[in-house]
Chain A
Amino acid sequence: MLEFAEALGRHPFLQQALLAGLLASGACGVMGAYVVARRISYLAGAIAHSVLGGMGAARYLAVVQGWDWLHPLYGAIAAALAAAFLIGLVTLRASQREDTIIAAIWAVGMAGGILFIAATPGYDVELMSYLFGNILMVTPGDLWLMLALDLVVLAVGFLFYNQLLAVCFDQEFARLRGVNSDLYFLLLLGLTALTVVLLSTVVGVILVIALLTLPAAIATNFCRRLWQIMALGALIAMAFTSGGLALSYGPDLPAGAVIIVLAGAVYLLVALGVWWRGRAKTHPRSSYGVG
C-alpha cells in the first residue's frame, strides 16, 4: 500500500486510474441503489454484456475502416443505450419468455463484439481489456468523457428522483398519478446503461454487475431511504475502486479483478455480520438463563 502511495505521486497514469474509479463511483452509487431496490440486476447484467458488441464494432470501424474519431466508449454508449431500450420494451410488452429474450440479448451482444474484435488486428489485448477492464490505460480524454457521463447520470437522477422512486416502488400507482411509468422505466434503464459504460472502463463488461450492485446491497443494511443508500453506496464504491487499485499495484495483479474480489469479500462479511446480529436478537442469551 505504501508503495502505491509513493507511486501515485510519480505516475500520472495511476492518478488517472484513481480518478476514473472515483468518477465512476458517483454514478455507481446512484444507479446501483435503483437497480438493487427495483430488483433489476439481471437486466443490468444483460445491458453490460451487450456493451461488448458496441466496443467491438467501434474498434473495428476505427482500425479497419479508418474512422479514427470513433472511440470504443462511443460504441459502448450506443450499444448500452440500444440494449437498454430493447430490454425495456421486452420487459414492458412481452408477456411470456421475457427472461429468455433478455438472456439472448445478453449473449448475442457479446458474440457480436467478439466477431468484430476477431476481425480487427490486435485481437487478444483489446478483448481482455474490454472484458476485464484496464483502468491503468485510462487517458485524460477518457476522463473527460467519464466526467460528462457521470454528470448526466447524477443530474437526471437528482432531478427525477421523486418520479423514479415512485416508479420503482409502485409502477401502477405512479401511472395512476399521471406519471408516464413506461417512459421513466426506460429512463431508469438508460441511466443504468450509461453507468454500466462508466464502470466497464474500470472493471470491464463481465465484472460490471458486481461493482454496480454490491455497494448498494451493502448500504441497504445500514440505510432506510433510497437516497441514503445512493450516498453510502457511492462512498463504498469509491473505497472499493481505490482500495482495489492500491492492493493490486504492489503484486502487479489485474486491478479490475482485485476490486471485484474486495467488493465480494466485504459484502460477505457484512452479510455474515447482519445475520449474526439478527441471530443474537432472536436468541438473546438471557432466554437461556436460569428459571
Chain B
Amino acid sequence: MSLIELKEVTFSYDGQPVLERVSLEVVPGEFLALVGPNGGGKTTLLKLILGLLAPQEGVVSVFGQPPAKARGRIGYLPQHAFVDPGFPVSVAEVVLMGRLGPGAGLGPWPRRDRRAALKALEQVEAADLAGRGFSSLSGGQRQRVLIARALAADPELLLLDEPTAGVDPRGEKDVLELLAGLNSRVTVLLVTHDLHFVSPYVNQVACVNRRVVLHPTQEVDDELIAGLYGRPMRRVRHDRHLGGGDCSHA
C-alpha cells in the first residue's frame, strides 16, 4: 500500500500553474528528498499532502484517506522563517504543541502529555533543553526542538520543509543523521535546497519543477546536481534511466 499517493494533481495560484499533472507515490519506510528551484512547487507539494491546499485537479490521498483526515498521523516541520524566534515560550511548551488535537483538554497539560513531549525531546537528543527559553537556542537546537514537536504525537509520516535552513554546517549533518535514524520507524519526506548534502542519507530524490520526477539515490550523481543548480535548467538531461521528462520542463 502506498502511504502518499498523488494522481494527476494540478495546482495554480491565481491562474499561475505551480504543479501540473503531478503523480507521485511514496511507500512506507521511504526517505524521500524533494529538490528543485525556488518557486518550483516543493512547499506547495507539501501543503497539498497536508491538506492545507486543495488541488484544482487530481486526487491526493494519504494513508488512503483525504489529507485533512490523515493529519493526525503526520508530523510537520514548517519552514523556519515561519516561526518567530523571539516568541516567549519554553522548549517544553513548544514540544507540547505537538500534543494538541481535538482530544486535548482544557487547562494545564496532563502528565501523560508531558511525558510524551519529554520522550520526543529525548528522541532528538535535546531533553536537556526542556526548561530553556526557545529564543535562547541556536539555529540547530531550534530545528531539533521543532522536529521533537513534530514527533510528539507519534506520527507515521514526517514532512519537513527545509529542516537544515538556518543551521550551521555541523548542525546540518547532525539533523540529517537524526532524521536517518528516525527513518527506521517513520517515513520521512523533506524539502531541501542542498541536494549534495542530503543525498548520502535519502533513498529517493524527487525533482519538483512544475512536474515531479523520481530518482533512486544511485542516480543522483554530479550531473544531476550540476544540472539542477549549476546550469540553465533547459539543458538538464537526467531522463535516461526513467525515460520520461526532466526536472526543468522549461
Residues of A within 8 A of B (CB): 33, 37, 158-163, 165-166, 168-170, 172-179, 220, 223-226, 228-229
Contacts and interface: CB of A to CB of B under 8 A. Distances in A.
B98 A169 contact: no
A169 B83 contact: yes
Interface residues of B, number: 33
Contacts of A165: 89, 93, 97
A1 to B, nearest CB: 34
Nearest to B77: A173
Contacts of A173: 76, 78, 97, 149
Contacts of B74: 176
A224 B90 contact: yes
A169 B93 CA distance: 10
Interface centre among A178, A220, A228 (most CB of B within 10 A): A178
A163 B108 CA distance: 11
Nearest to A219: B88
A224 B98 CA distance: 20
Nearest to B135: A224
Given A162-B109, A177-B97, A224-B133, A170 B82 contact: yes
A168 B93 CA distance: 13
A-B pairs, 7 with minimum CB distance: A224-B133, A177-B100, A159-B106, A178-B101, A166-B97, A178-B102, A226-B88
B100 A178 contact: yes
Interface of A, secondary structure class, is helix
Contacts of A172: 52, 78, 82
A174 to B, nearest CB: 6
Interface string B129-145: 00011011000000000
Nearest to A158: B107
Nearest to A224: B133
Interface of B: 50, 52, 71-72, 74, 76, 78, 82-84, 87-90, 93-94, 96-98, 100-102, 104, 106-109, 132-133, 135-136, 149, 153
B77 to A, nearest CB: 9
B12 to A, nearest CB: 16
Contact of A178 (B71, B88, B133): B71
18 contacts: A33-B88, A159-B106, A159-B107, A161-B108, A162-B109, A169-B84, A170-B78, A172-B82, A173-B97, A176-B71, A177-B97, A177-B100, A178-B72, A178-B100, A224-B89, A224-B90, A224-B132, A225-B93
Nearest to B159: A176
Contacts of A220: 88
Given A37-B87, A176-B76, A169 B94 contact: yes
B83 A176 contact: no
